[in-house]
Amino acid sequence: MTDASVASAAEQILLAERAPDKRPIVKTFFDDATFTASHVVHDPETKAAAVVDSVLDYDPASGRTRYDSARKIVQYVRENDLNVIWQLETHAHADHLSAAPWLQEQIGGKLGIGADITRVQNVFGKIFNAGTSFARDGSQFDHLFHDGDRFQIGSLNAISLHVPGHTPADMAFVIGDAAFIGDTLFMPDYGTARADFPGGDARTLYHSIRRLLSLPEQTRLFLCHDYKAPGRSEFAWETTVGAERRHNIHVHDGVPEEDFVSMRTKRDATLSLPNLIMPSVQINMRGGHMPEPEENGVSYIKIPVNTL
């Protein structure tokens, strides 16, 4: 599909599902250790559900994982009798570990990510010298989404949009009148995601954002992170296309591409790497699985010295 026909397919879904009874129900779980918003979206009619961007708790000092955050999702799914058919990742996150494999064991769902995850696997497979046992074909995931793929969550129509820039493989999932847009836009008062990770690109991010902002104004947008803008006391993770177009401090309507690229590039140069980038990338590029255990049965996470 061309860019325009994908956008209009997404628009058709949104227009068809503006009726209140077709609105997906979204419950968000916010992890304030990594500032990540995980979402459970479901169809009220059939109880079919998808989990978007789950978090596995990780303590870097001890190298231990915990399931406290993921357990809250399991509890919510069971209490509401939801039938989880997808575990969706908007991208390979660099700031938290995915709990998708553990959640699959508890509540099911096929694990899906953007097809260009293979590019991310190639780049980070080299950086971490992951060896030949690390497949770089996306086979750790159950499904690879392409731009314009249509799918169903119960009676809700959904479409995947390729929105690269933050990483080469970012996807947005438009489900009914709600779009799960990962790390592209943040809340209007905070701006946009960084574009300086390997394979990231500010200009590409600008185009992906403009594409998301071409969705109907009332589209609900669900973000992957919030860091509380200065002056705001509560975390927030939901906004609309209209609010972003009017108020986003980096990329509201009228901000020229060149201005955005220069702002984003300058700002990225001041940012330090996320605390959990080393474990996050090595685990998330493997679909949330730990690296192959060594002969003693223990999995290790590597730190490349003077590389990143």
Residue 17 in contact with Fe ion, rule: CB under 5 A: no
Residues in contact with Fe ion, counted by CB under 5 A, come to a total of 2
Token pair of 140 as six digits = 């750790």
d(CA 14, CA 221): 12
Of the pair 73, 276, the CB lying nearest Fe ion is at: 276
What is the closest distance, in whole angstroms, from the C-beta atom of residue 36 to Fe ion in the complex?
9
Query: Angle at the Cα of 51 (from 278 to 291), degrees rounded to 5?
Result: 30
Taking CB atoms, the residue at the shortest distance from Fe ion is 183
Mask: binding to Fe ion, 86-105, rule CB under 5 A, as x and -?
-------x------------
In the chain the beta strands, taken as DSSP E runs, fall at 25-31, 36-42, 48-52, 57-59, 64-66, 83-88, 110-114, 143-145, 150-153, 156-162, 171-175, 178-180, 220-222, 238-240
Query: x/- binding map, residues 163-192, to Fe ion, per CB under 5 A?
Result: --------------------x---------
Q: Is 42 or 93 the residue whose CB approaches Fe ion more closely?
A: 93
Compute CA 168 distance to the chain's CA centroid, rounded to the nearest angstrom. Answer: 12
- Comparing CB distances to Fe ion, the nearer of 116 and 183 is 183
In contact, 222 and 37? CB cutoff 8 Å: yes
Our finding on whether 116 is near Fe ion (CB under 5 A) is no
Q: Which amino acid is at 275?
A: N
Least separation in angstroms between residue 271's CB and Fe ion is 12
Query: Which of 17/128 has CB closer to Fe ion?
Result: 128
Residues in the chain: 308
Is residue 226 near Fe ion by the rule CB under 5 A?
A: no
Shortest reach from residue 199's CB to Fe ion, in Å:
12
CA-wise closest residue to 211 among 148, 271, 150, 268: 148
- Considering only 85-93, 134-142, 210-218, 298-306, which stretch makes contact with Fe ion by CB under 5 A? 85-93
Which residues sit at the interface with Fe ion, rule CB under 5 A? 93, 183
